[in-house]
Amino acid sequence: MTPAELRTVIEPDGRVKVRDLGLSDAELLHCYRTMLRVRAFDDTCLKLQRSGRIGFSIPNKGVEATQVGAASALKKTDWIFPSYRDFGMALYHGIPAVAMMHNMFGNAEDSAKGRQMPVHFSFTEPIKFVSISSPIGTHIIQAVGAAHAMKLRGEKHIALASFGDGGTSSLGFHSGLNFAAVWKSPVVFLCQNNQYAISCPVEKQTASDGFAIKAKAYGMPGILVDGNDLLAVREAVLEAAEYARKGKGPTLIEAKTFRMGGHSTSDDPTRYVPKELVAEWEKKDPLLRFEKFLGKRKLWSEKMRTQYYDEAMAEIDVAAKEAAATAKPALETIFSDVYATVPAHLRRQGQQAFEVAARHGEAEAGDGKFPL
């Protein structure tokens, strides 16, 4: 394997370079509908944030093919250690949109009971989707640890660690890749090179020729793939996953893509991303590319796009309304889910908090600006 050449499967006109895609027509349409659902989720969350109903969200427009392509290559028994731009991985594997929306509102049905920021999803069913981490790169070493535990147990599962180009500058990146390579831990490292780590462009992030080439220094295969080509990403992750399941160790995949929006809802990309660059990548929109491919197989039409997107928006709208109407976490949850048996000193503190709340009412957020 060499990272020197950009791997592609879908040609710009929609033709493919391989005959056996490993996906049925129904599965291909599931990939397509998942990308549309990601965009619908994005659109809805942006409106919710701008109207002050949620505090934060992360745009995914432009990087959906990398998420969904990678997810399609994983088994339900594999573990996903996602970045915060991986909505599609959860949706692809059957996580209900309403479960994700509960986290956006931080309500009583949120798996984290409102203890985390929005976009910090975590689920144990139907897949193992480990909580997204705000600190960059910390989940990379967690993925390696989990993968190594699978190896010691004799399991054939793997872990996928997904991170952005900025994550490669973290200590977790070096520590994780070095450990995984030495111990041949069954983990796939997926670097989503979307060109900017917040406002820091790739050329200021690394002096190397991309990120896949870094694999050579750690003693593992490196693959450079077109991140806007869903089938190319799927192929690369399938290859890396099989390599890991055979006990050969990790692979570093660099998926070259571009986020066609801000780093988050608190970011203004027009201040640092040239308009010409955005226009260039808009022509490479992964959704449009996949539509051309589906069209070649007689599986797509303009009418279908409208129908599927309207269905996705309706689904997300219902999810948002349900999450908005769900009660906030009870005060006692700040003491629960930590200890099997609550220690006496925490019981005393809890009782004091409950008494204050009973006299004065529960605390509200106040009118300060959201910090991010």
> What is the 3-class SS of the chain, one letter each residue?
CCCCCCECCECCCCCECCCCCCCCHHHHHHHHHHHHHHHHHHHHHHHHHHCCCCCCCCCCCCCHHHHHHHHHCCCCCCEEECCCCCHHHHHHCCCCHHHHHHHHHCCCCCCCCCCCCCCCCCECCCCEECCCCCCCCHHHHHHHHHHHHHHHHCCCCCEEEEEEHHHHHCHHHHHHHHHHHHHCCCEEEEEEECCEECCEEHHHCCCCCCCHHHHHHHCCCEEEEECCCHHHHHHHHHHHHHHHHCCCCCEEEEEECCCCCCCCCCCCHHHCCCHHHHHHHHCCCHHHHHHHHHHHCCCCCHHHHHHHHHHHHHHHHHHHHHHHHCCCCCHHHHCCCCCCCCCHHHHHHHHHHHHHHHHHCCCCCCCCCCCC
For the chain, domain boundaries: 25-325, 331-360
Q: Reading across the β-sheet that carries 187-193, which strands appear in turn?
A: 128-129, 79-81, 159-164, 187-193, 251-256, 222-226
pLDDT at position 341, please? 86
- Do residues 136 and 166 lie in contact, with contact meaning Cβ atoms separated by under 8 Å? yes
**What are the residues whose beta carbons fall under 8 Å from the beta carbon of 18, sequence distance 6 or more?**
9, 231, 235
10's tokens: 């879908």
pLDDT at position 224, please? 98
152's tokens: 């010691």
Using alpha carbons only, give the angle 97, 197, 191 rounded to the nearest 5 degrees: 70
Between the CA of residue 99 and those of 102, 199, 298, what are the distances in Å?
A: 5, 31, 34
Superfamily designation of domain 25-325: Thiamin diphosphate (ThDP)-binding fold, Pyr/PP domains (3.40.50.970)
Q: Does 15 participate in catalysis according to the annotation?
A: no
**What are the residues whose beta carbons fall under 8 Å from the beta carbon of 20, sequence distance 6 or more?**
none
123's tokens: 């689920």
pLDDT by residue for the chain (372 residues), tens digit each? 444 689 999 998 899 987 778 899 999 999 999 999 999 999 999 999 999 999 999 999 999 999 999 999 999 999 999 999 999 999 999 999 999 999 999 999 999 999 999 999 999 999 999 999 889 999 999 999 999 999 999 999 999 999 999 999 999 999 999 999 999 999 999 999 999 999 999 999 999 999 999 999 999 999 999 999 999 999 999 999 999 999 999 999 999 999 999 999 999 999 999 999 999 999 999 999 999 999 999 999 999 999 999 999 999 999 999 999 999 998 888 877 778 888 999 889 888 888 888 888 776 544 444 343
pLDDT at position 4, please? 62
Strands 187-193 and 200-201: unpaired
Task: Exactly one of 39, 139, 234, 259 is catalytic; name it.
Answer: 259
Query: Could you identify the residue written with the tokens 């139907």?
Result: 126
Query: Could you identify the residue written with the tokens 């917040």?
Result: 198
**Distance (Å, whole) CA 360 – CA 22:** 61
Q: Does 272 participate in catalysis according to the annotation?
A: yes
208's tokens: 């190397």
Tally of CA atoms within 13 A in the half-sphere of 46 that contains its CB: 16
Q: Does 289 participate in catalysis according to the annotation?
A: no
pLDDT at position 366, please? 46
200's tokens: 């820091």
pTM score, two decimals?
A: 0.93
**Distance (Å, whole) CA 305 – CA 238:** 28
Task: Exactly one of 243, 263, 289, 308 is catalytic; name it.
Answer: 263
Task: Exactly one of 272, 297, 305, 339 is catalytic; name it.
Answer: 272
Q: How many CB atoms lie within 10 A of CB 79?
A: 21
pLDDT at position 359, please? 86
